[in-house]
Amino acid sequence: MTEPMTEVAATPGSVHVRAPGKLNLVLRVGRAGDDGYHPLATVFQAVSLYEDLVATPAKEISVSVSGRHAAHVPTDESNLAFRAAALLAEATGTEEGVHLEIAKQVPTAGGMGGGSADAAAALLACDLLWETGLAREELGHLAAELGADVPFALTGQTALGRGRGDVLTPALARGRFYWVLALFDDGLATPEVFAAWDRQMAGSEGGVDDSVLEVGDDVMQALVSGDPNQLAEVLENDLGAAARELRPAVGMVLDQAEGAGALAAVVSGSGPTVAALAADHASALEVAAALRARELADEVIVVTSPAHGARLVEPVRDSM
């Protein structure tokens, strides 16, 4: 199992927050609206792969990044965590700055909401550091301004997402699920995947059927059952074909995962991360070993779901 590798250390006066990456267990996509966004019906579930963020008082806002794919992540004002801190400062009128130190585990542009987790962690950490006293609900509104997946990174666990994916309803899920994640160093840009989906739909016979833009009762029942066999039956991602078109290795890894004993495998979000559901921990380890041997993915790890949303990591106090 992947343990949080905390490369960040909170010093006195700083705030350490951890926020999770997510999978989309179901992702249904509708025709884009005038704003360019596609309406979604999705089930998010947070996984035990986290972004750690330490916020330290500073005069201005700045960001540093370490960990998985850190070299691909900008540290200027285009960084989503930077924008989160700037948005909160503007919304609350604070004059304070902050340094945000991020240790990444969630892949960049992987379809797992890594940047969104950074933004959610930054919102919560700055809120605590600056003692703005905003309610979680107000943080949720700011989160939605930053990106479609940011509100879910705040709440974590399991939720139904509508609208752009930012209108959330908590969903009941029992048990713990074991996943094998196949990660790729090169990400896929979300707008490009949606554009590939648009092209595929324009070329398809039936076009987009917006009337089926919903998550079925069978999905909710599978979540409540806690039974991975039932969940495997309902995993589905409308963006899967677009991700496979842009990155053929994705399709091969999906096939390999199922051939190696996974109950089912699905692309997460806009990909290219492949999430393979295993019957239990032992089976997940076997599937992971088989996928590693095939060497198509750059990294193969085992995680569990559901996981908590963005939350404060209390400092470990010396017993002395």
Active-site annotation, residues: 22, 149
Mapped onto helix, strand or coil, the DSSP state of residue 102 is: strand
Residue from 38, 68, 83, 104 in contact with ligand C5P (CB under 6 A): 38
Q: Binding of ligand C5P at residue 43 (CB under 6 A)?
A: no
Q: Is 111 in the site for ligand C5P (CB under 6 A)?
A: no
Q: Which pair of structure tokens corresponds to residue 26? A: 């179901």
Residue closer to ligand C5P, measured from CB, 14 or 79: 79
Provide the minimum distance between the beta carbon of 84 and ligand C5P in the complex, in angstroms, as a whole number: 12
Task: Tell me how far, at minimum, the Cβ of 117 lies from ligand C5P, in Å.
Answer: 12
**Residue 118 found at the interface with ligand C5P (CB under 6 A):** no
Output the DSSP codes for 17-55.
EEEEEEEEEEEEE----TTSPPPEEEEEEEEEEEEEEEE
165 binds ligand C5P (CB under 6 A): yes
Which of 191, 207, 226, 259 lies at the binding interface for ligand C5P (CB under 6 A)? 191
Of 37 and 233, which has the nearer Cβ to ligand C5P?
A: 37
Beta-carbon neighbour count of residue 273 at 10 Å? Answer: 29
Q: Which is nearer to ligand C5P, 204 or 221 (CB)?
A: 204
Q: How far is CA 310 from CA 49, 225, 248, in A?
A: 12, 26, 33
Nearer to ligand C5P, 196 or 235 (CB): 196
Give the type of residue at 282.
Answer: A
Indicate which single residue of 20, 114, 140, 147 sits in contact with ligand C5P (rule: CB under 6 A). Answer: 147
**Cα separation of 113 and 103, whole Å?**
15
- Residue 164 binds ligand C5P (CB under 6 A): yes
- Considering the complex, what minimum distance in angstroms separates the CB of residue 166 from ligand C5P? 8
> Cβ contacts of residue 68 below 8 Å, gap of 6+?
104, 105, 106, 107, 108, 183
Site size for ligand C5P, by CB under 6 A? 13
Give the integer Cα–Cα distance in Å for 108 and 30: 25
Angle between helices 136-146 and 80-92 (to 10 degrees): 130
Quick one: which H or E segment has residue 302? Answer: strand 299-305
Here's the x/- map for ligand C5P, 3-32, by CB under 6 A: it reads as -----------------------------x
Query: Per rule CB under 6 A, is residue 148 in the interface with ligand C5P?
Result: yes
Q: Which of 36, 93, 203, 206 binds ligand C5P (CB under 6 A)?
A: 36
Instruction: Answer yes or no: are the C-beta atoms of 269 and 112 closer than 8 Å.
Output: yes
Beta bridge partners of 266: 275
Helix axes 136-146, 114-129, angle to 10 degrees: 140
Euclidean distance between CA atoms 145 and 164, whole angstroms: 11
Using the contact rule CB under 6 A, the part of the chain among 2-10, 142-150, 227-235, 276-284 near ligand C5P is: 142-150
Nearer to ligand C5P, 270 or 283 (CB): 270
On whether the CB atoms of residues 182 and 297 are closer than 8 A, the answer is yes
What distance in Å separates the CA atoms of residue 124 and residue 132, rounded to the nearest whole number?
A: 10
We find the least distance from the C-beta atom of residue 239 to ligand C5P, in angstroms, to be 10
- Of 97, 128, 194, 298, the residue at the interface with ligand C5P (CB under 6 A) is 194
Query: Which residues form the interface with ligand C5P (CB under 6 A)?
Result: 32, 36-38, 40, 147-149, 164-165, 190-191, 194
